[in-house]
Amino acid sequence: MCNTCKAAPFTFDIVAEDPKTHARAGVLHTPHGDVPTPIFMPVGTKATVKGLLPSTLEDLGTKILLANTYHLSMRPGADLVNEMGGLHEFMQWHGPILTDSGGFQVFSLGDHVKLGDDGVTFRAVDYDGAYVHWSPEDNMDIARKLGADIVMQLDQCPGYPSPRPFVERAVELSSMWAERCWKAHESAGHLTYQGTPQALFGIVQGGMDLNLRLRSLHQLEDIADFPGYGIGGYSVGESHEIMFETLAPLVSEHMPKQKPRYLMGVGNPTTLVRGVAYGLDMYDCVLPTRTARMGSGFSTQGRVNLRNAKFSHDAGPLDAGCTCPVCTGGYTRAYLNHLVRQKEMAASILLSIHNIYFLLDLMRRAREAIIAGTYQEFLDNYLASPAANDG
């Protein structure tokens, strides 16, 4: 890496604000490049976006990738990734990388998890069944060895619905762990990997209770000057309408304006454009690649199920309104239908290319509308179009 890249600070510049909504366009500066916001981050769970090469992702317009701390710590292990030069070298992606906390994956293990002030003990039943303990310091050590640009604090992610005392406890544990993560981050020299700094984001929890969300946010602000904030604990079983009841005021009225706001684990197209209107900047989700493996594609006409026999003689593209390499490359709905029904690997690859491009392009167009001062019109037109039928 060049010396200029090593010296690049983590800063966030707001370049435009929409006059009728809370939408804003920004630029997040990282040691591995600038990230224009709003942005969708494709998920490379195990150091790969399933079926796609890094060069393909770059060609699609990907600016930043996400990788998963839990899965990489299990296999191949943070020490091996470190030995191989960190995630950027290991997966041959040289743009920015964000690693999540692993908290969602750990707590999805359900009865195999035990919480305590010192951290979390869990049984990795999806691997070898071994018992593992993570303290906040352990979590930060894994993050350092993986070497991502942006890392997330260890947090507890309560599902929905959960009793209020359980959600309150999640807020307190997450705040307690955030402080210890920050101290570990500081003691490691702002968590550097081979001389390159890493940014630590705090995570706001609190379930569907706005007062608990605000408590979590204020506790994080009291702990440290985090360069950005994740918003966790949404899209965990609740409807989007219930989610926005607390998410909308949290983001638009209470979260620090000069810090990037990252809604974790959400990738539904309609939710993205609605969230941008409230001031969200960053998103990630496995949805585009997972739905691709199930034979479905996003489109300007709504979700398209390519398993449907009605497409078997359809000579048109997946989405006539899309400019991705699949839709402009001559691949017909009939061909995609054939691949999906025959369970060919190419079906997942082509649909993943399309779905990821669809979300990247959606955020690119949203950014253009913000800069032009027409985001409300952009949002209204999208919600009134068939594209909003994406469930």
Query: In this structure, what is the dihedral angle of CA atoms 222, 165, 252, 261, given to the nearest 10 degrees?
Result: 60
Q: Determine the average pLDDT of the residues in 361-387.
A: 98
Decide if 93 contacts 48 (C-beta within 8 A).
no
What HEC string does the chain produce?
CCHHHHHCCCEEEEEEECCCCCCEEEEEEECCEEEEECEEEEECCCCCCCCCCHHHHHHHCCCCEEECHHHHHHCCCHHHHHHCCCHHHHHCCCCCEEECCCHHHHHCCHHHEEEECCEEEEECCCCCCCEEEECHHHHHHHHHHHCCCEEECCCCCCCCCCCHHHHHHHHHHHHHHHHHHHHHHHHCCCCEECCEECEEEEEECCCCCHHHHHHHHHHHHHHCCCCCEEECCCCCCCCHHHHHHHHHHHHHHHCCCCCCEEECCCCCHHHHHHHHHHCCCEEEECHHHHHHHCCEECCCCCCEECCCHHHCCCCCECCCCCCCCCCCCCCEHHHHHHHHHCCCHHHHHHHHHHHHHHHHHHHHHHHHHHHHCCHHHHHHHHHCCHHHCCC
Give residue 1's pLDDT band: very low, low, confident or very high (50, 70, 90): very low
d(CA 275, CA 266): 10
CATH of range 38-292; options 3.40.50.10490, 3.20.20.70, 3.20.20.105, 1.10.3720.10: 3.20.20.105
Instruction: Convert the pLDDT of each residue in 110-134 to its tens digit.
Output: 999 999 999 999 999 999 999 999 9
Decide if 98 contacts 284 (C-beta within 8 A).
yes
- Clarify whether 100 is annotated catalytic: yes
d(CA 219, CA 175): 6
Catalytic entry in 100, 149, 281, 390: 100
Catalytic entry in 18, 149, 281, 284: 284
- Tokens at 239, concatenated: 């409807």
- Clarify whether 138 is annotated catalytic: no
Catalogue the E-assigned strands of 64-160.
65-67, 97-99, 113-116, 119-123, 131-134, 150-152
Is the predicted pLDDT of residue 185 greater than 60, yes or no?
yes
Tokens 């779905």 identify what position? 355
How far is Cα of residue 68 from the mean position of the Cα atoms in its chain? 10
Is the predicted pLDDT of residue 20 greater than 60, yes or no?
yes
> Any idea where the domains of the chain sit in the sequence?
38-292
Tokens 């009939």 identify what position? 334
Q: Determine the average pLDDT of the residues in 84-110.
A: 94
d(CA 380, CA 100): 32
Is the predicted pLDDT of residue 247 greater than 50, yes or no?
yes
Give residue 9's pLDDT band: very low, low, confident or very high (50, 70, 90): low
Decide if 226 contacts 218 (C-beta within 8 A).
no
Instruction: Convert the pLDDT of each residue in 39-77 to its tens digit.
Output: 999 999 999 999 999 999 999 999 999 999 999 999 999
Q: Which residues pair with 17 in a beta bridge?
A: 24
Question: Which among 238, 170, 229 has a CA at the least distance from the CA of 205?
Answer: 170
| DSSP letter assigned to residue 388 | G
Is the predicted pLDDT of residue 257 greater than 80, yes or no?
yes
Q: Please report the pLDDT score of residue 190 as a whole number.
A: 63
Tokens 């506790």 identify what position? 219
